[in-house]
Structure 1
Amino acid sequence: MSEPNRSSPPNAPMRRGRLVAATLGSLALAALIVLGAILPAEFNRDPLGLGRLSGLSRLWAPEDRLVGGEAAGVARAREYDAPFRTDVIEIPLGDFLAGADRSELEYKVRMRKDATLIYSWEVVGTDEPRDFHFDQHGHTTPKPGEAMTVATHRQAFGLKQHGALTAPFDGIQGWQFSNSSEKPVVVKLRLAGFYELIPPGQAGNEAGVIANVPADRARPR
């Protein structure tokens, strides 16, 4: 006599133990998918390290934040007709006993409106900030009978300054340097940007300073 068939009928419900195991397995797989795939790819979170290993973390990217091309009416990006240039100007100044014509001078460069100048200068020869004064300003060069526009950027005592300037108008921009120490000094000025050097003797360079030469040759007597 043959043995009775002990297999479950086709439509018999799943045993409780197998049901619990299947449920736990599904939950574990779902958690693995969330922690190992969805979080790294969608939220840049990788608690298991699987996103980095699988490359899924590279799929995440923050939402773009758009910024306008202008701020307060000023363009963030500009193009200029004049080429970019750099210059080094060493300006010798005598001590205060040498007289105003030797201990102070004005040095400027020519700039078009909205052009950018990056500058850095320091004083060599004294370590006392109160011995040196600078007046950073600019103005237009009007024709006879026309009014002059003047912009004052900064006036202070100090031995160095680093920064950038955007010209508010067509004209000349620069500094009045004054040495009141008991020793002669040299102002080492470095410029970069979109500007033109002013020839010696013209407005803005009445002292006749020559750029890109050592200090002993920069201010012929």
Structure 2
Amino acid sequence: MYNTDMPTRAELPTTTQLLRSTAIAIAGAAVLLVTIVLPAEYAVDPTGVGRVLGLTQMGEIKQQLAAEAANDDLISAVTIVEGEVPLAGDATALQSAAASMNAAAPEQPAAAWRDEVTLTLAPGEAAEIKLVMKRGETARYEWRADQGHVNSDLHGDGTSGQSTSYRKGRTEASDTGELTAAFDGSHGWFWRNRSDVPVTLVLQTSGDYSQLKRVL
């Protein structure tokens, strides 16, 4: 097997040569830092070389974007009182506005429901509730089950024989939204308990309808 010969002492670099190489490397890194890195990343250009190369402009854009992002994060966490909008970038004013809002903002009242119906369905049992509505009328609703799950069908039956299904759900425990009547008639919900335990449903409604009725 051939082994590489060890270098002689004369072939090894001297301490002076090592120090000179180290100094050259440090100087080169410093030049790159001052002329390339600082202008491109932080828009700091003490020599003017970065602006000639277009790097300072790049750094200015990066700094501006970073400042805007930080300002947006702060603004998004604060709901500003109308007529008391602080200047963008004024962190102290934004924090003061947030504290004022938390201290003075009244709680919003819960949505007022016009009707509430409670149904208890045994496993496999079904029920149907309808709202009597005219075409274009809109009602808000929310229903929820205390346990288990149901299949649901939000549909409408028209006075002139029309029918439509607005929404179908499978193995769900709640739903909320708005119902806009596609035609004059009865519009509402059919539920069937598909779980193995009794389910108590609570339906709350409000809006444009003349009557709420149970048809099944």
Structure scoring higher RCO (CA < 8 A, sep ≥ 6) equals: 1
TM-score normalized by the length of structure 2: 0.46
